[in-house]
């Protein structure tokens, strides 16, 4: 147990540093313990919860490597005389139903031996402590889960857990989540040719259409503070303009060490 506590507080101290690292999203099982007033509301907000999970799993969010789930009781009442398992079984669309079932029941990946109990609103969770330095994904079943952070306690110490329960939260945490937006700088980087500008300066070409450039930007890796990628045998660099906005261009003059890393990543 001691080792688990040590690892926990180590993660908690690192959480405020702001270093770019791949994180996990943790399903907030406590948020499933608050029944909705009606069946219709339960279905509505479960769709919202699933939409958040879908966004996390897409390439758009580059700093989340996986979703973890503890033990969400499928027999819990999510509405009046309406159990969670009933909602899942009645969920429209086989693909969405399978995805929801997988998220809630097939990903029990928390470390039982740690036994790190996190208390939120007086309710205990064995998985939410893993939200420290990461993110909770909550069902919006009450006001407490509508906030950008959720307060809890672990071993009587207060913690604040970053929370995702609606699109506004993803927008708020866009930098931490690693969301990147491509914006072509076509004044400097032309599609068909290099572009001379200024005194003796030449802008490299950017021969990818915006959609392809966005897709490659999502896959780009950080090397020495710059994002790089490779496509169709060519190397590309993406430069941050502001906030989460990047422009890109062909990078012909990369060092061999950078090329080796890209060759290994982009086969």
Beta strands in the chain (DSSP E): 23-27, 64-68, 77-79, 82-83, 118-120, 123-125, 135-137, 149-154, 157-164, 181-182, 195-197, 201-203, 221-223, 226-231, 234-242, 245-250
pLDDT at 246: 96
pLDDT at 21: 66
pLDDT, block means (10 residues), the chain with 267 residues: 48 45 90 97 96 94 91 92 93 86 68 73 93 96 98 94 98 97 71 50 76 96 94 94 94 92 92
What per-residue confidence (pLDDT) applies to 193?
A: 43
Alpha carbons within 13 angstroms on the beta-carbon side of residue 66 total 8
Phi–psi pair at 216, nearest 5 degrees: -70, -35
The two three-digit tokens of residue 10, written as one number: 């180590």
The beta-carbon contacts of 96-100 under 8 Å, at least 24 apart in sequence, are 96/50, 99/50, 99/53, 99/54, 100/46, 100/50
51 to 42, 46, 243: CA distances (angstroms): 14, 9, 24
Length of the chain: 267
How far is residue 60's CA from residue 66's CA, in Å, rounded to a whole number? 13
pLDDT of residue 199: 57
Q: How far apart are CA 69 and CA 104, in angstroms?
A: 6
């Amino acid at each position: 147990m001691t080792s688990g506590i040590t690892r926990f507080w180590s993660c908690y101290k690192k959480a405020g540093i702001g270093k770019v690292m791949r994180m996990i999203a943790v399903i907030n099982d406590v948020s499933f313990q608050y029944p909705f007033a009606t069946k219709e509301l339960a279905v509505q907000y479960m769709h919202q919860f699933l939409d958040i999970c879908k966004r996390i799993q897409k390439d758009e969010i580059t700093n989340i490597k996986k979703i973890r789930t503890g033990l969400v009781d499928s027999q819990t009442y999510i509405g009046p005389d309406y159990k969670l398992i009933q909602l899942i079984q009645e969920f429209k669309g086989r693909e969405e139903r399978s995805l929801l079932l997988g998220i809630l029941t097939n990903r029990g990946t928390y470390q039982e031996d740690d036994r790190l109990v996190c208390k939120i609103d007086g309710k205990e969770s064995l998985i939410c402590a893993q939200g420290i330095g990461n993110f909770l994904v909550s069902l919006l079943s009450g006001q407490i889960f509508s906030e950008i952070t959720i307060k809890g306690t672990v071993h009587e110490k207060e913690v604040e857990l970053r929370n995702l329960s609606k699109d506004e939260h993803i927008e708020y945490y866009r930098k931490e989540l690693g969301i990147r937006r491509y914006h072509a700088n076509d004044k400097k980087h032309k599609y068909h040719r290099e572009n001379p500008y200024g005194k003796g300066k030449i802008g490299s070409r950017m021969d990818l259409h915006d959609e392809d450039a966005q897709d490659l930007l999502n896959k780009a890796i950080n090397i020495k503070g710059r994002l790089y990628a490779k496509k169709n045998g060519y190397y590309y660099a993406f430069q941050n303009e502001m906030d989460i906005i990047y422009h890109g261009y062909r990078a012909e003059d990369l060092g061999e060490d950078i090329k080796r890393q890209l060759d290994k990543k982009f086969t």
